[in-house]
Amino acid sequence: MRLGRGVQLPWRMPKRLQQVSDGSLIQTLDGHTRPGEEAVFSADGELLVSKVRDGMGLWTVSYGGQIHMFEYPGINVVFSPDGSTLAVANYNGSIALYSTDGSLLAERDGHASTVRGIVFSPNGGILFTASIDGTVRVWMIKP
């Protein structure tokens, strides 16, 4: 298990969310056809992004409903502090911002290579990204 912003998903299918304390089943996430890699929760725990080799799924945790399936995998994913925006860092050095209904808000290029780090400022107005090309970018998200 990865501590902090997300957890690693088991390689087996289907994907299951289980209570850590007693192992009881919370939800089954049906929809992925490939093994899982990572899951990231929103700050309030109501939303979940599951990352697999062929894409990402956006889910509601309380009833396990899939909100949106993204066709390509991002390398890193993070929710804004208020949970309204999902930032995805990509292998090609770009970032994408999505609303929590899955609609694309913006795409930005700026790094010459894979973005390995991505984090919002505490107020969600700034996004910081770090790439293996040695650069760090500061993106103004909200005025």
29-73, pLDDT tens digit by residue?
666 555 566 778 898 888 888 877 777 888 888 776 888 888 766
In the block, tokens 């509601």 appear at: 60
When divided into structural domains, the chain yields a total of 1
Q: What is the mean pLDDT of the chain?
A: 79
Would 132 be classed as within a structural domain?
no
Would 140 be classed as within a structural domain?
no
Would 13 be classed as within a structural domain?
yes
The Cβ-side half-sphere exposure at 53, using a 13 Å CA radius, reads: 5
Torsion on CA atoms 62, 36, 141, 101, rounded to nearest 10: -40
Please measure the distance between the N-terminal and C-terminal CA atoms of the chain and give it in whole angstroms.
36
Would 134 be classed as within a structural domain?
no
Would 43 be classed as within a structural domain?
yes
Q: 44: domain CATH number?
A: 2.40.128.630
d(CA 32, CA 2): 20
Identify which of 92, 91, 87 has the alpha carbon closest to the alpha carbon of residue 126.
Answer: 87
Would 65 be classed as within a structural domain?
yes
Whether residue 43 contacts residue 61, with contact meaning beta carbons closer than 8 Å, is answered with no
Would 131 be classed as within a structural domain?
no
8 has pLDDT over 80: no
Structural domain including 86 reads 6-107
